[in-house]
Amino acid sequence: MTSNVEVLRYTAFTHDPAGGNPAGIVLDARELSDGEMLEIAAEVGYSETAFVTERDDEGRTFRVRYFAPAAEIDFCGHATIATAVVLAERLGTGRLLFDTDAGRITVDTEIDDDTLRATLTSVPTRSRPAGEEELAEALAALGWSRGDLDPAFPPHVAFGGVEHLVLAAASRERLADLDYDFEALRSVMTRHGWTTVNLFWRESDERFHARNPFPVGGVVEDPATGAAAAAFGGYLRVLGTGSDEFTVIQGVDMGRPSTLKVSIASQDGRTRVGGGAVPLEVSGGGHTSSYE
């Protein structure tokens, strides 16, 4: 059955096919089993593929599931943006509702300067200080020391649909030099239930640089991570620091620059994360060098 399934390929948080984070999109997955969706995601090879498994009669509410090459993920931000752009191209702009394993996600689509953009509103966010054991295990797997961290931003575990360990690099050079133990970090993250590790460096209160290892999904690194950006907004809200609106620059060190526009979590604990998405012209499975 999987050989007959149409998989669209878009890259999110960019308007350039050479940038952003690629996502697979299956608009009609009603007849696919869990195993078949996982098989398709592995064949596509991107960090996530989104599967639309149900839609309401009016066509604006959808059940969406996300599969990485190695596992199902409760929520994926970049695949949400890509799927919303694809649906808006077919249905027209406006509000879409995605029912995910993490909860209902509202996505607003619009034309901005002749470009189609989507902005998701996350489920309520939360953030807590990372435990000493959690931190020590993660730093060891990353090959980082406590001196590599920016003391202005305490390590946290933040949630914006899925959980992420959040660590602030003391310098841009430390962030750029990422060479971690894949199996060791995957083991640590699996034990603690983290989807990615959100490594970031503050250029200013309005501009952050980020990298997101994703070994639990079978992926070395994500070039753009909307779920982590949503959780990061919640993290900054808990700390009471930063600007209400900021930009996350990601993927630069991978050669796939991405731009995520973020509005810090509101009083109800939700974060808005927006960006564009464009189609990819690829052949075969669409694998890139960032995947194991």
Residue 209 lies in a domain: yes
Residues 189 and 253 in one domain: yes
Alpha-carbon distance of 219 to 222, in angstroms, equals 7
pLDDT in tens, 146-190: 999 999 999 999 999 999 999 999 999 999 999 999 999 999 999
Report the CATH number at residue 114: 3.10.310.10
Residue 168 lies in a domain: yes
Residue 181 lies in a domain: yes
Alpha-carbon distance of 144 to 207, in angstroms, equals 23
Residue 289 lies in a domain: no
Residue 174 lies in a domain: yes
Q: Note the pTM of the prediction, 2 decimals.
A: 0.92
Model pLDDT, residue 292:
28
Residues 45 and 116 in one domain: yes
Where does a domain end: 79, 97, 122? Answer: 122
Residue 264 lies in a domain: yes
pLDDT in tens, 127-156: 999 999 999 999 999 999 999 999 999 999
Where does a domain end: 70, 93, 122? Answer: 122
Residues 78 and 152 in one domain: no
pLDDT in tens, 84-134: 999 999 999 999 999 999 999 999 999 988 889 999 999 999 999 999 999
Name the residue range of residue 73's domain: 2-122
Residues 152 and 239 in one domain: yes
Counted domains in the chain: 2
Q: How many helices (H) and strands (E) does the chain have?
A: 6, 17
Alpha-carbon distance of 145 to 167, in angstroms, equals 11
Residues 75 and 145 in one domain: no
Residues 57 and 162 in one domain: no
Asked if residue 119 lies in contact with residue 156, where contact means CB atoms within 8 angstroms, the answer is: no
Residues 206 and 237 in one domain: yes
Q: Is the pLDDT of residue 58 over 90?
A: no
Non-local (6+) Cβ contacts of 54 within 8 A are 30, 62, 63, 99
- The mean pLDDT of the chain is 93
Residue in 261, 205, 224 with CA at minimum distance from that of residue 82: 224
